[in-house]
Structure 1
Amino acid sequence: MRYLAESFALGALRRGRPVEQFLGPAGSPEHPGIHYVEVRPAKTHYEIFLYTLEDVGHEGFADLVEFPPLDANDEEFGRLVATRDDPLVALAAAEDVTGAVRGRWVNAGVVQDEYRDYVMAGRPANSSPDGHPRPVPPSRS
């Protein structure tokens, strides 16, 4: 089973292991991209990073850490969007800030498999390859 039950996601974070979630397409048809979120343990808290990358992959190349940022002016890999002191609160914050969905967290590195499934399914805009609706980030006013 690819997706982590909440208790396993929390256990991974408490053991110092990050969890990730593929969020789907980003950008525009002229400049396609993808995004994913990572909750990463730090010394005294949990950091939530949002990655928005150019969609330069294919079935044989899904190493997301090798993808360039979608915004060419973005010098850093990922944007810190929040920090929290508790792993459960960090997951909830990641979901609130990025539109991530409870029950779709994966261990670090498995997000690449999620991306590969997305590519093999024809890069669907509104649903994941398994038919679940794509996460929708909260609107920014």
Structure 2
Amino acid sequence: MSTSVLPQHPQARDFPMLPSTPPDSLRITIQDTPKGPVVELTGYLDLATTPMLKAACTEVLRGSADQRMAADLEHVSFCDCTGLNTLLHIHRLAQKGDGWLRLCGAGATFHKVLRITGLAPMLRCYASAADAFNDVAPSRHAGSRP
């Protein structure tokens, strides 16, 4: 008697808001996909919301065997320097475990900011999370600091 294995669908869970996060400012949904975790962000990345982003991504990295994850920025409507610095911090945290944080779904303005700040080689952007996980090349600047 043979048993068939059904394909696994991504599991999604909302990361709970921290008490210090302003209501309706940032929503974080974590998608557990077959290729790896995708952190979907909706709202603002700023001084008030980055502690929540750090907490969520630290939790994801703790549960990730290969320390690799993607952050979907398609629904981020604002990102200040604190948000950008937090994404860089999370990427460096992942690098300590030979992993990475890759961005996807970012708009043209976000791409421009990454180029202007010199962070584009480290915070690599892709059209989709699948593209981010399919690029198996190691980061060109794996241990560098801006």
Does TM, scored on the shorter chain, surpass 0.5? no
Question: What band does the TM-score fall into relative to the shorter chain?
Answer: under 0.3
Larger radius of gyration: 2
TM-score by length of 2: 0.27
